[in-house]
Structure 1
Amino acid sequence: MRDHPIPPVTEPLQYRAIGVVRGTYRPEDADQFTRGVLVDAEGQELEAVVLGRMLTLMRRHLAMDAPHLWVVYPRCRDAGHLHLQITGIWEPSTLQPGASDDALPEGDNYFSIRGELIYTRPETGDLVVKVRQKPRADGSRPLPFKLQLKGEIPLDQLRHFVSLDVRRQGQELHVESHELIAPMPTRGGKGRGGARKGGGRSSRPQARA
């Protein structure tokens, strides 16, 4: 088992949107276990679905009436409405014999978001990041998705690849810190910073979960 539920970045332009949320999963009904809500300590309900590989683990090994620290992929279908895809759990004390510390240095409700900044309005604290997903096993490419976030990033960083440390607050994701990685390439091979010189190869963004 890794020592952290969020894997390290392996490429400078690696897309991803992943985080951890502590809560109690409550299925929609007994016959629809894969769809339900995560209820946090404040009683906030977050729309959630369980990805297939988690079903057996949840049913056989977890106390479903207790809170757990879930590893999730965030989606924003509407402003102010967070949707979570449950892909894992971080609970070494339960799943790894001899382990006792389930706490993470970043704390609960932490998300790592990496993608293209396509909208920012610093005066209102609104921004949108586009995230591309890695190809499926059959070779098909899922459509990119957009995450609506809260935070202040200057307009001159629009159309750049950014890495964001984000914290969930209720139904919103708030940027705590951000790093500017690189301008996004445009058609014709030019970035916003100008044409490449010397015929050097540019780094291509790598899609990840």
Structure 2
Amino acid sequence: MRDHPISAVTEPLQYRAIGVVRGLFRPESEDQSTRGHLIDGDGHEIDAVVLGRMLTLMRRHLDMGKPHLWVVYPRCREAGQLHLQIAGIWEPSTLSASDAETESGDTSIDALPEGDDYFSIRGELIYTKPEASEVVVKVRQQPRADGFRPLPFKLQLSGEIELAHLRHFVSLDVRREGQMLQVQSAEVIAPMPTRGGKGRGGASRRPADRSRTASS
């Protein structure tokens, strides 16, 4: 089993939007068991949908009356309204029943160094307004096995990133705060390549000087 639910980056310009949220999943109804809300420890209700491959695991192995640390894909369908796609769960103490530590009841192996509500967002910075703490990142998805190419999507975040980094590929460490995703730190990877293979402004595709900025 992996030691972290968010895998390491393998390519400099690797897109992704993934995170972990601890909460109790409450379906809309018995007929709509895949749609509902995640309710966190503070009582915030976050719109959520369960991806198909998770259904069997939830029904057979999890106590749905208790909160769990879910692996999720974030979306922003409405301003100020977070939507989560539940793609997995991080709970080695439950899922590794053969492990000696698990049999002894040790749940410390479930803890992550980043804590709950951590997200890793990587994509193109297409909008930033530092004075208003507004950031929008475009994320592209990998083609599916059947050849279908999903459309890119945009994530609205709260944070301060300099206007000079617009149209650059960025890697963001993000923390969920209620319905908002707050940028904690941003690493500028490189100018986005154009059709001619060169970055904007005539820069080559090689990574630019990496800088880090942190939101207040």
User: 1:142 maps to what in 2?
Assistant: 150
Q: Does 2:18 align with 1:18?
A: yes
User: 1:52 maps to what in 2?
Assistant: 52
| 1:179-201, Cα deviation, whole Å (9 max, x unpaired) | 000000123333124154xxxx8
Instruction: Give me the whole-angstrom Cα distance separating, in 2, the residues matched to 1:188 and 1:66.
Output: 53
Count of aligned pairs between the two proteins: 199
The TM-score with structure 1 as length reference comes to 0.92
Q: Does 2:87 align with 1:87?
A: yes
Q: Does 2:199 align with 1:176?
A: no
| Superposed counterparts of 1:159-170, under 5 Å | 159-170=167-178
User: 1:127 maps to what in 2?
Assistant: 135
Flag as ranges the 4+ runs of structure 1 deviating above 3 A.
none
8 Å CA contact 1:189–1:195 kept in 2: the answer is no
Instruction: Give me the whole-angstrom Cα distance separating, in 1, the residues matched to 2:122 and 2:201.
Output: 20
- Among candidates 93, 112, 128, match of residue 104 of structure 1: 112
| 1:84-105, Cα deviation, whole Å (9 max, x unpaired) | 0000000000001224321000
| 1:82-141, Cα deviation, whole Å (9 max, x unpaired) | 000000000000001224321000000000000000000000000100000000111111
8 Å CA contact 1:34–1:50 kept in 2: the answer is yes
Tell me by how many angstroms 1:27 deviates.
0.4
AA aligned opposite 1:178: A
8 Å CA contact 1:122–1:151 kept in 2: the answer is yes
User: 2:211 maps to what in 1?
Assistant: none
AA aligned opposite 1:173: L
AA aligned opposite 1:13: L
User: 1:206 maps to what in 2?
Assistant: none
The TM-score with structure 2 as length reference comes to 0.89
AA aligned opposite 1:33: S
Structure richer in helix, relative to its length = 2
Unmatched 5+ stretches in structure 1: 204-209
Q: Does 2:202 align with 1:194?
A: yes
Instruction: Give me the whole-angstrom Cα distance separating, in 1, the residues matched to 2:31 and 2:145.
Output: 29
User: 1:29 maps to what in 2?
Assistant: 29
- Among candidates 147, 163, 176, match of residue 155 of structure 1: 163
| Superposed counterparts of 1:60-71, under 5 Å | 60-71=60-71
8 Å CA contact 1:122–1:152 kept in 2: the answer is yes
Instruction: Give me the whole-angstrom Cα distance separating, in 1, the residues matched to 2:9 and 2:153.
Output: 20
